[in-house]
Structure 1
Amino acid sequence: MENKEIVIVHKTSVSDYPPLLAFIRYLNKNNYKIHLILGFEKGNLIEELNSLCYKVHLTDIKPSSNKFLYWLTIRNTFWKIINKNQYQEKLIWIPSADTTLALGKKLLSLNYVLNLYELFDYAPRYLKGLEKYAKNAKLVICSNLDRANILRVWWKLPTTPEVILNKPYSDISERNLPLTDELLKLLEPVKDKKKIIYQGVLFPERELDGICRCINQSEDFALIIMGKETEYLKKLKIICPSIIHIPFVAPPYHLHVTSHADIGILTYDHSSLNNIFCAPNKVWEFSNFGIPMIGNDIPGLINTIDANRMGECIDFNREDRVSKTLHSILENYTEYSRNAKLFYSSYNYDHELDQIMQKL
C-alpha cells in the first residue's frame, strides 16, 4: 500500500471491539495516517484514539431502540463526514457488518475493505445483505481460517478471505497488574483461592450453570465473572452465591483484572456455526499471561486450546468432568502455562498484517 492513509468507519465504539484497537495500534506504529469516523466511545479510550489517529470524528450517536431511525442517522451523518473530507477518494476500512449495511449501496462505488468479526449464520438477513459488499470489496477479512473458508463457500467468492487473528497489539504481559482500590476490595475475599475467570457476554447459551455448581461445592476455587449484569447472571448467583462479579471494564484496562486469574473459562453453545467456529479474543488474552484454559467441546476451542495443549476442552454440562478438569489443570499447570505463552508468540501480528496491507 503506497499511500499510507486509511479511513476507518465504525458505527459503535472501539472499546467493544478489541481486535479493532489492535489494528489501529498496528497502523499507528507503521506510520499510517488514520482517519476514524466513530459512533461513540466509552471510558478513557478516546484519549488513546486521539493520540493514535490523525483525526477522530466522534459523532456521539448512541444505539437506539428505533433501529431504522438509528441507522438512518448513522448513514446521513457518516456520509456527510465522508463527503466533506473527501474520504471517498481514500481507502475505507469497515470493521463491522452493521456499519456496512447502515452505509448502504453508495459504498459499492468506493475502494473499501470489509473486515468481518462474525459469521452471521444466526442472522440470515445480514448474511444475504452482506454478500454484494463482500463480492465488491478490495479485500474481505475474517478472524480465523474456518470462517474465511465458510464465507467463501456461502458467497461463492473467487478467493478465500484474508485472516487477521484476534491477537491484542499490546506488550502488557506481567501477572498481577495493579488494580484500582475498588477492584482490589472486590477480589480481597478470594486472594488465597485459585481464581477462575469468565469474561464476556452473560446469556444462557454460555452454559455456565455446571461450572457454578462445581465451584459452589469447592473450597479451593473462586469464580470471577466480568461482564454486564443480566438475568442469567442473577440465576448463576443463586447457584453460586460466592461469584465475584466485575461489571464492564473498558479495554485495555480489563486485562489488569485478567492478569490476576489462574484459569480462564471459554464456552459457546452449539446454536450456530459462528459459535462452534469461534475466534475468541479471550484465547489471546489468557495465553498472553500464560493462563491455562478450560473450553467446551466445540471445534473452535478444540483446535486452539486442546491442539496447543494450553488447557482442556470438555462438556460443561457434565459436572463430574468439570471438577476433574479443574484439578487436572492444576496438576499440569506449568506445562499448560508454558504452552499458552508459546501459542501467544506463535502469531506475528506485524508480519501477517504487513503481508495483507501489501495487497492493497
Structure 2
Amino acid sequence: MRDIKTIPPTISIINYLASRGYKIVLFTYHTEVKFEFSNIHLIQLKKKPYPIGLLKRIAAKIYFHLKFYRFLFKHKHAVNIIWLGAPDVIGIYGFKGAIKVVYQFHELEQHRFNSCRKADYLVVPEENRGWITYFLAKLKTKPLLLPNIPNYGGFNISEDKEITALKNMGKITVLYSGLIDNKKRSLKELVKAFDFLPAKYVLVIIPSFVKVRNDLEDLKKYVKSLNLSGRVVFLNSRMPPNHLNTIAAADIGIGFYSATSLNNVYAAPNRLYEFVNFGTLLILPDFPAFKALSGVFPYAVNVTDISNPREISVIIEDIMLNINKQKNHYLHLKRLKGTMNILQEM
C-alpha cells in the first residue's frame, strides 16, 4: 500500500487477523500508525508520506514496485495471501502463483473491473456497490462486505481553537471537510445556501491535501462574488486524524456527493462515521442508501436535494430549530456509533 493512515477499515482488519494469530507483513510506502501485536511486521519504505506531483509520484511508484517485488520473490514460499489496498501493484496477477489475492475495492470505478475479476476475493465498502460490481463486472461470486469505517483508536480529541472562536462570537458552524471538487461535491450550491440563511450561520471549509484543478481558488472567487466572505471561512488542511478535532466541535457536518457517477450515488463515506462518532449532526444527499439511513436514525442523519441551495438552507435551519428533538433522539446516534465500533473493537 502507498500509505496506511486511516484507510477504512484496513487497520481494523490487520489488528483482527493479528489477534487471531496470523502473521502479518504490512508492506507500505509510509505510515504513522503504530501496531501493538508482535506478529505484525511493518516494512515502511519512506519516513515521509507519498509525494505530491506527477513526476515524484511516478518515481515513488517505481521505487515501491522494485522493493515490493524484491521482497515477494525472496519470501514467496511463505506468503499465502496478498491483500491489496489499491490496484496499483502492476503485474501482481502474473507473478502471484498459488498466492491468493484479496482486492479491497474502495471506489466504484468501472475501469477497475478487470482487476476485480482477477482477484480471488473482492471486498467492497457498501452493499449496493457489491451488487452493482457483481453484475457489471460479471463476477463469479458476490463480493465480501466490509464497511468503510475509519480507525482512530487511541486518538484523544483536543480543542479546535478556530471553531471555538467562532462559537464564542455566537456563530453556528456548518463544516465541510474534504475534497474541493466543485462539480463532484456541489460546493457552489452549498455556498449559495448561505445566501438564504441568517448571518449567525457560518460555513467552515477545510480542504483536503489533494488538489483538483483550480477548484479551491474558483470557490473562493465565487464566495467573494456573493459577498459571503464573512460567512464562509476557509481553514488550513488538517492531517488525519487531527481533522477530528474540528469535526467534533462543529454544529453540523456536510457530506455532499453530486450525482455525477455511480461511485458518488452509492458512496460509502467515512465522513459519515466520523461525524456520527462525535455526535455531530450530518447532512447527506438524498440518495437511496442515505435516505434509508436517515429513516433509521432521524435527526442524526439528514438528507436533502444538494442541487438546490434553497433546500440546503432549509434543512440546515430545520436541524437547529429542532435541536431539542435531536437531543431526545441521541440514542439513535449512539446506536449508529455502536455499529461503527464493532470493527474497531475486534
TM-score by length of 1: 0.78
List alignment gaps of at least 5 residues for structure 2: none
Kindly provide the amino acid, as one letter, of the partner of residue 200 in structure 1.
G
State the Cα distance separating 1:316 from its structure 2 match.
Answer: 2.0
Matched position secondary structure for 1:105:
helix
* Residue 338 (1) aligns with residue 323 (2): no
Q: Contact 1:24 / 1:52 at 8 angstroms: preserved in 2? A: no
- 1:224 partnered with 2:209: no
Q: 1:25 & 1:224 partners in 2: Cα distance?
A: 35
Matched, 1:263 2:227: no
Q: Is the 8 A contact 1:227 1:247 kept in 2?
A: yes
Residues 314-347 of structure 1: per-residue CA shift (max 9 Å, x gap) = 1123222122111211214225543222122135
8 A Cα contact 2:177 2:208, kept in partner: no
**Aligned twin of 1:56:** 42
Question: How many correspondences in the alignment?
Answer: 326
The answer to whether the Cα contact below 8 Å between 1:92 and 1:113 also exists between their aligned partners in 2 is: yes
Alignment partners' CA distance in 1, 2:319 and 2:297: 14
| 1:127 alignment partner in structure 2 | 113
Deviation at 1:228, TM superposition (A): 2.9
Superposed CA deviations along residues 287-338 of structure 1, whole A, max 9, x for unmatched, are 1122221112222422333443233211123222122111211214225543
1:152 aligns with 2:134: yes
Unpaired runs of 5+ residues, structure 1, are 1-9, 355-360
Mapped pair 1:277 → 2:266: yes
Matched residue, 2:125:
143
Residue of structure 2 in register with 1:237 after alignment: 220
1:303 — aligned with what? 292
CA RMSD of aligned residues (A): 3.1
| 2:194 aligned residue | 215
Report SS of the residue matched to 2:43: strand
Aligned to 1:357: none
For residue 12 of structure 2, the aligned residue among 6, 13, 22 is 22
**Structure 1 CA distance, aligned partners of 2:238 and 2:15?**
20
CA contact (8 A) 2:275 2:282 kept: yes
Q: 1:289·1:341 contact (CA, 8 Å) conserved in 2?
A: no
In structure 1, C-alpha distance between the alignment counterparts of 2:336 and 2:93, rounded to whole Å? 39
Q: CA deviation at 1:164?
A: 0.7
Which shows bigger deviation, 215-224 or 251-260?
215-224
Asked if 1:161 corresponds to 2:143, the answer is yes
- Residue equivalent to 2:161: 184
SS of the residue 2:335 aligns to:
helix
Bigger shift: 146-155 or 224-233?
Answer: 224-233
Counterparts of 1:344 and 1:211, CA distance in 2: 26
- What is the 5 A alignment of 1:197-212? 197-204=175-182, 205-212=184-191
**Secondary structure of the residue that 2:165 maps to in structure 1?**
helix
Aligned-pair CA distance for 1:80 = 0.7
* 1:350 to 1:131, Cα distance in 2 relative to 1, 3 A: closer
CA shift, 1:254, in A, is 2.2
Q: Identity over the aligned pairs, expressed in percent? A: 20
Distance (Å, rounded) in 2 between the aligned partners of 1:284 and 1:133: 31
Secondary structure of residue in 1 paired with 2:26: strand
- Aligned residue identity for 1:233: L
Question: 1:82, 1:88 within 8 Å by CA — same for their partners in 2?
Answer: no
